[in-house]
């Protein structure tokens, strides 16, 4: 059977680096297993779901290097959910409940006061057709609950029923269905909560592995029971730890914190974002990998740790700088052209070691082409004037700097910082930057002489 996975965001906001973790885990898993990756929009919440968010999620995933094989939308599949709901109703496994949210809350408070777990007592399941008709006559609409298989024939006599699965990240897991309330699958307004559509899709789309955040562990016991009630076998599950910032603060989609769009706009490389999102919170070292193939090689769900995956947003900058320092010219050529940066491979190789982002190259291109405001301290004026006179004849090459500074050293007795820094400042307007031997060759004779007053 072809390995099939899905990333299933609700298009109710932009995705952030934390959401990219399950997306990438599924993508890498599919690549590793030569399987299929479905992008499924969980958009049954019509009020909060927006087409613009779905578009931005697609764009962000593609930027990260994720190319879905198929895109599905739950809003287009409601008849399949209706059919599954009918099947459960026919089997007596989906029953109407007429309590209002207030009534349910009061009931739960009473249970808590008595020291009992606030589990729904299946009152709806006891109601007769007449009682239901009376609620309907009052104008009440039912919500619908699934009867969990936590009993031996009498649903009012529940007994411990462990659902177990071998989790790809967490090892053996189990949930006692007797500790849970029957889940609501259909709201009183007739719309579906996420649970049933997700299961129906996973069945219809042949999903073999569900890889998602550990916030879904408790749902999994319920979902396995519903897969079975629909006559399907459940997929294999893997629940990974969630990415959080150092102080343990979760990342919220709606706050826009560390959104993929903002990281892209900050000029970060997709592979530094992907490397951090995947490798944080695993037993592997967090290092910037050059491409998706290298990340596929490194990726291993069993290396995901049980504690949370904490990261410092500053780490992203370091990873990005490390990645940029090794980027070959071919990889950045078109982007440099787009930014108006010339100089070919020679320029890129001279400056990349000083760039945190590829965009920083524009700064050094400006240094090469000018204008540059020369910076000369008063005590260096004579030295700079002499430097102008001793500027070597002929073509400016990578050897010119060595010959020039050797001549200046012999003539003035200056050495080290006192020799090099005034020249760097005059020629580049900065007191740090790429190797001057390369910069001088790029700046060339005329620009150099113009900057030596």
Using CB under 6 A, list all residues that contact ligand GLU: 8-10, 42, 194, 198, 210, 212, 216
Looking up tokens 């019509």 gives 46
Closest by CA position to 453, among listed 372, 363, 397: 372
CB 97 within 8 A of CB 124: yes
CB 427 within 8 A of CB 372: yes
Q: How far is CA 59 from CA 56, 308, 419, in A?
A: 5, 28, 51
Closer residue to ligand GLU (CB): 9 or 270: 9
Residue 209 CB, shortest distance to ligand GLU, in Å, is: 11
Backbone angles phi, psi at 175, to 5 degrees: -130, 130
User: HSE on the CB side for 8, CA within 13 Å?
Assistant: 24
Q: How far is CA 305 from CA 174, 239, 277, 285, in A?
A: 18, 11, 14, 12
d(CA 208, CA 72): 16
d(CA 339, CA 324): 16
Closer residue to ligand GLU (CB): 210 or 289: 210
Closer residue to ligand GLU (CB): 278 or 289: 278
Closer residue to ligand GLU (CB): 57 or 384: 57
Residue 54 CB, shortest distance to ligand GLU, in Å, is: 13
Helices (DSSP H) in 65-158: which residue ranges? 78-90, 101-113, 123-126, 129-137
Closer residue to ligand GLU (CB): 173 or 284: 173
Residue 327 CB, shortest distance to ligand GLU, in Å, is: 33
The distance from CA 198 to its chain's CA centroid, rounded to whole angstroms, is 21
Residue 48 CB, shortest distance to ligand GLU, in Å, is: 12
Closer residue to ligand GLU (CB): 19 or 400: 19
d(CA 100, CA 218): 24
DSSP 92: T
Q: What length does the chain have?
A: 453
Closest by CA position to 249, among listed 158, 312, 343: 312
Closer residue to ligand GLU (CB): 42 or 182: 42
Closer residue to ligand GLU (CB): 183 or 434: 183
Closer residue to ligand GLU (CB): 219 or 284: 219
SS3 186: strand
Pull the structure tokens for residue 132.
Answer: 């239901």
Residue 179 CB, shortest distance to ligand GLU, in Å, is: 21
Residue 253 CB, shortest distance to ligand GLU, in Å, is: 9
Closer residue to ligand GLU (CB): 253 or 451: 253
Residue 246 CB, shortest distance to ligand GLU, in Å, is: 24
Pull the structure tokens for residue 212.
Answer: 């998602």
Closer residue to ligand GLU (CB): 42 or 99: 42
d(CA 54, CA 241): 25
Residue 50 CB, shortest distance to ligand GLU, in Å, is: 15
Residue 212 CB, shortest distance to ligand GLU, in Å, is: 4
Helices (DSSP H) in 230-373: which residue ranges? 260-265, 270-279, 292-298, 313-325, 329-338, 344-351, 361-369
Residue 426 CB, shortest distance to ligand GLU, in Å, is: 57
Residue 307 CB, shortest distance to ligand GLU, in Å, is: 21
């Amino acid at each position: 059977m072809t390995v099939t996975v899905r990333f299933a965001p609700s298009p109710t906001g932009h995705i952030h680096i934390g959401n990219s973790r399950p997306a990438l885990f599924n993508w890498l898993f599919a690549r590793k297993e030569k399987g299929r990756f479905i992008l499924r929009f969980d958009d049954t919440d019509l009020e909060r779901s927006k087409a613009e968010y779905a578009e931005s999620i697609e764009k962000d995933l593609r930027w990260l290097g994720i190319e879905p094989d198929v895109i599905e939308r739950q809003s287009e599949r409601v008849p399949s959910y209706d059919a599954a709901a009918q099947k459960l109703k026919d089997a007596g496994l989906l029953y109407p409940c007429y309590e209002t949210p207030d009534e349910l809350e009061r009931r739960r408070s009473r249970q808590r006061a008595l020291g009992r777990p606030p589990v729904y007592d299946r009152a709806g399941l006891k109601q007769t057709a007449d009682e239901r008709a009376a609620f309907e006559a009052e104008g009440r609409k039912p919500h619908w609950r699934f009867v969990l298989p936590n009993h031996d024939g009498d649903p009012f006599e529940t007994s411990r029923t462990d659902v177990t699965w071998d989790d790809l990240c967490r090892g053996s897991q189990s949930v006692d269905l007797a500790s849970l309330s029957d889940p609501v699958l259909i709201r009183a307004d007739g719309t579906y909560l996420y649970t049933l559509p997700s299961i129906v899709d996973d069945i219809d789309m042949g999903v073999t592995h569900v890889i998602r955040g550990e916030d879904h562990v408790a749902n999994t016991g319920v979902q396995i029971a519903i897969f079975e009630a629909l006559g399907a076998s459940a997929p294999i599950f893997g629940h990974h730890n969630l990415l959080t910032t150092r102080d343990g603060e979760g990342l919220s989609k709606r706050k826009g914190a560390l959104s993929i769009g903002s990281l892209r706009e900050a000029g970060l490389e997709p592979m530094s974002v992907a490397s951090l999102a995947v490798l944080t919170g695993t037993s592997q070292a967090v290092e910037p990998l050059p491409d998706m193939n290298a990340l596929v090689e490194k990726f291993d769900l069993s290396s995901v740790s049980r504690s949370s995956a904490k990261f410092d947003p500053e780490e992203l900058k370091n990873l990005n700088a490390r990645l940029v320092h090794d980027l070959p010219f071919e990889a950045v050529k078109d982007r440099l052209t787009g930014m108006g940066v010339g100089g070919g491979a020679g320029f890129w190789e001279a400056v990349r070691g000083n760039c945190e982002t590829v965009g920083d190259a524009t700064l050094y291109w400006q240094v090469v082409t000018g204008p540059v405001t020369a910076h000369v301290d008063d005590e260096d004026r004579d030295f700079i004037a002499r430097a102008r006179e001793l500027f070597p004849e002929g073509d400016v090459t990578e050897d010119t700097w060595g010959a020039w500074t050797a001549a200046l050293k012999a003539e003035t007795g200056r050495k080290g910082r006192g020799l090099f820094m005034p020249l760097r400042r005059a020629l580049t307007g900065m007191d740090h930057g790429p190797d001057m031997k390369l910069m001088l060759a790029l700046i060339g004779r005329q620009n150099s002489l113009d900057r030596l007053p």
